[in-house]
Amino acid sequence: MDTKKLILYAALGIVCISIYSAWQKDYGYNAEVIAANVNAPSDNKVMAEVVDETSVPSNIPAGRIINVHTDTLEVSIDTRGGSIIEAKLPKYPANIKDKTIPIKILSNDSENLYIAQSDFLGLNNNQPLNYKASQENYVLQPGVETLEVNLIWSDNRIKVIKTLKFTKGSYAVNVDYKVTNLTKSPINTQVFTQIKRKEPKQKSSFFGLHTYDGPAISSADKAYEKIDYSKMKDTNLNRDIEGGWIAMQQRYFLSAWVPAQDKSHHYYSNVADQIYTIGMITPFNLSPNSESMLGVKLYVGPEIAENLTQLNKTLKLTIDYGWLWMISVAIFWVMQQIYNLIGNWGVAIILVTVLIKGLFWKLSDASYRSSAKMRSLAPKMAMLKERYGEDRRKLSQATMELYKSEKINPVGGCLPMLIQIPVFIGLYYVLAESVQLHQAPFTLWITDLSAKDPYYVLPVLMGLSMFLQQKLNPAPTDPAQAKMFMLMPIVFTILFASFPSGLVLYWFINNVISVLQQWYAIYKYEHRPVHHKKKR
């Protein structure tokens, strides 16, 4: 049993190391227009040419920038093309120590380029439309629910009114086009909608255990499909999809374009100069002397399921809980219900830990009972070791016969450890992907459950609880194994020192409950004589 339990501890150590590597990789916040002509062919084949250098705006004159301020978004719009080149979230500070500085999602900075674009192809000689607006600054006033920014462009053929509608309390922006054909001839053009992002700095991961950072799309065939950066480098996306959406993900936040669901769009991707572009092209046809409308929705904000499902029911799949997503979803749902009652995510973690232990109480009790019985066999084990000396084969055979005669399962004590591993991984993903836990305070010095304990109090307490738990287990008969077991609490304390405090809190509470349950099992079973039924 000792060898198998040692293997389990080693496996858990590997899991912890992989989670640690993934957390370091993911922690923090580190984003070509295809040429087409008016009367373009209806097959929407994507061409490789970039429209020109203005497809990546830089050094934009102040006169071209429109600033929009709402309770949830601070947005900068370039009137050339109507691109959203900067977006900040005032309700989410970039640094917990200075809550006046909002996190920036979209940026026109050349080192961290990440912009959202949507405009017509070919209406202005393959140049972005030069829109005009009535003012440079828009503010959603108190007591007002919506704010509209109208961008206007026209020539002697066409008039375009691009309206960006912002709503109080929402991270979604409605982008609507009202287009008037002033000629006596039909005009067939296209609208492109895309997200452009500079290649993020990549860090190594361990066993692939990390939250997803990169592009994704949705279609009827596959509700959520990751189009990661390596895939984009190898092959350009070239697919016709009805409805769907495109997104660019990062930890806790994302940007996404959601087009009309009743229309077919041509989805494409492109990589050039370390800039990744993913987007879609939608046909837009105008009859002579007619007016037509086209709308698309942009989301720039936190990955909150209820927000995302309002735009598209499958968009919530971007909350990437990894390969144990079912466990993560269940854990978060229970935590959410507790938080709604109590208002503290740290307390929610504690109560969820108690519930999990209660759910597996009977199973744990059986394993601790087996462990307690094995402790009572220590004198007999010592006698067997003295009898067979260095003959490991006979010692092992005699030990198994002793377990059988005493009706003890030698691997029963491993079950609690096996149960903890998937829950541990599931909770890691909850902490890594649930923006509700980002910068969530617990108590006293723990001001962010998604960050490490600044004073390492929780890791030390966790290590002590692990040491106490080991003292309650039967000591390994092999001296080398015994030494390794004694080192485990120290190794785990060092390893957990950089883990998010919410994860360490879970492990500490889990250990405390396990110690109490194991102590009770020892008190209840170790001193109780084992009775065997008499043979008739």
Q: How far is CA 15 from CA 220, 465, 523, in A?
A: 35, 20, 33
pLDDT in the model for residue 257:
98
3-class DSSP state of 3: helix
Using alpha carbons, select from 173, 192, 200, 196 the residue that is nearest to residue 300: 173
pLDDT in the model for residue 526:
57
Alpha-carbon span 33 to 206, nearest angstrom = 36
For each of the chain's 536 residues, which pLDDT tens digit applies? 444 444 445 555 555 554 544 444 444 333 333 333 333 333 434 433 333 333 566 667 777 999 999 999 999 999 999 999 999 999 999 888 888 899 999 999 988 999 999 999 888 887 899 999 999 999 999 999 999 999 999 998 999 999 999 999 999 999 999 999 999 999 999 999 999 999 877 543 433 446 788 999 999 999 999 999 999 999 999 999 999 999 999 989 999 999 999 999 999 999 998 899 999 999 999 999 999 999 999 999 999 999 999 999 999 999 988 778 888 889 999 999 999 999 999 999 999 999 988 887 777 766 666 666 666 666 777 777 777 777 777 777 777 777 777 666 666 556 666 766 788 788 878 877 888 888 899 988 999 998 889 999 999 999 999 888 887 766 665 666 667 777 888 888 998 888 889 989 988 998 898 888 878 777 766 555 544 444 44
pLDDT in the model for residue 92:
93
pLDDT in the model for residue 376:
67
Using alpha carbons, select from 210, 217, 156 the residue that is nearest to residue 184: 156
Q: Which residue segments constitute the domains of the chain, with CATH numbers given? A: 2-21+327-526 (no CATH), 50-200+261-299 (2.70.98.90)
pLDDT in the model for residue 518:
78
CA atoms within 13 A on the CB side of 91: 14
39, 188 Cβ separation under 8 angstroms = yes
pTM of the model: 0.79
DSSP state of 522: I
pLDDT in the model for residue 220:
93
Alpha-carbon torsion (346, 351, 352, 356), positive or negative = positive
